[in-house]
Amino acid sequence: MIRTNLSEFQIIALCHHRGYGIGTKSAEKVKQIIIGNESGIGNANSIDEFLQDHLGESEVITEETQPQNRINSPFLHFISRITRALENKQGNWFAPKDQCDVYDQIVYESFYSESTHLVDIRPLPRPNESVWPYEGIDEKLYLRGFRNMSSKDEAIQNLIDKKIEALSKQISSYSNLEVIIAPGAAWMKRNFLENLYPGIQFESHLVKTSIRDLTYFTANQHINGRKVKIVVTAFFDSKNGIGYEGLRRLYELISNK
C-alpha cells in the first residue's frame, strides 16, 4: 500500500466525512446516528484514490452517489436492519439470512436511508486494520490517542480536537435527532461521547442472548432542546458481536418495547 501524506485540507475533510449515502441530503430527516470506529476505502486501490473519489473540492460531503452493487459488509447489514426496524418498515429484520424475508432489501436498497447518519470516530480511512498507510503519523500513538481521547503528540491531539468539533457540529445540525448508537470499542466510544458531552452519565444494562451475555450502556442527552437516547453496544456482527438477538434487544431498548 502506497503511504500517504495528508494536507490540512484533507484532514479537515476527513474529520467531516459521513458514511456512504446515509443521512446526507436532508438534515431534518435524520433521526438516528451510528458511530463506527473508522472508515474503509471501498473499492479504491489507495488512500489517494479514495480521497480523490470522495472528497473532491469540498470540506464537507453533502451527497453521495449510491452504488448499485450489493453491500457485503456485515456491519453495514446490521445498520440496514436496525434502521429499517426503527422506521417501522414491515419485515423480519432480525432473522438470520436463511429465515429473513427481507434479506434482499437489507443488502441492496434498504441500506440507504435518509433517516440515518453514519460517522466514524477515527478520521483516517484504511482498507483494513492490518494496514497503516500514513506517513508522519505513528499508528500506535494514533490508536491510543483516540482510545483515550487524549494524546501528548501534538498532531494526533489536533486530529482528536478536530474530530470532536466536526461531529459536534454535525449532530447539532439535526433538529429531529432521536437516537445515537455506538457499536463496538465501547471504551473509546464512551470516552468520545463523554468528551463531546461533559457530564453525561451512562447506565449499564445486562443483555442476555442464547449465544452470550452482553453489556449495553445507555444515557439521555439533551441536544437542540430534544432528549436523545444514546446506546453503546458491542460490535455489529452475527458471529463475534451482538448477533441478531442482541440487535433485536437494542431495538427494544431504544423503542421501549
Residue 23 has a pLDDT of 52
Question: With 60 as the cut, is the pLDDT of residue 17 above it?
Answer: yes
Interhelix angle 154-172/186-196, nearest 10 degrees: 70
For residue 69, what pLDDT is reported? 59
Residue that wins the pLDDT comparison between 104 and 143: 143
What is the rounded distance in angstroms from the CA atom of residue 117 to the CA atom of residue 35?
9
Question: Is 1 part of a structural domain of the chain?
Answer: no
pLDDT at 71: 72
Helix (H, G, I), strand (E, B) or coil at 73: coil
Q: What pLDDT was estimated at residue 118? A: 87
Instruction: Report d(CA 19, CA 165) in Å as an integer.
Output: 17
What is the count of structural domains for the chain?
Answer: 1
**pLDDT class for 112, splitting at 50, 70, 90?**
low
The parent domain of residue 123 ranges over 8-255
Q: Report pLDDT for 72.
A: 76
Q: What is the mean pLDDT of residues 237-253?
A: 93
Domain membership of residue 3 (yes or no) is: no
Look up the pTM and report it: 0.89
Burial class (CB in 10 A: 0-12, 13-18, 19+), 40: middle
Does 2 fall in a domain?
no
Q: Which region among 29-38, 54-63, 237-246 has the lowest average model confidence (pLDDT)?
A: 54-63
As a whole number, the mean pLDDT across the chain is 85
| Average confidence (pLDDT) over 165-191 | 93
User: Domain for residue 128, yes or no?
Assistant: yes
| Residue 46 located in a structural domain | yes
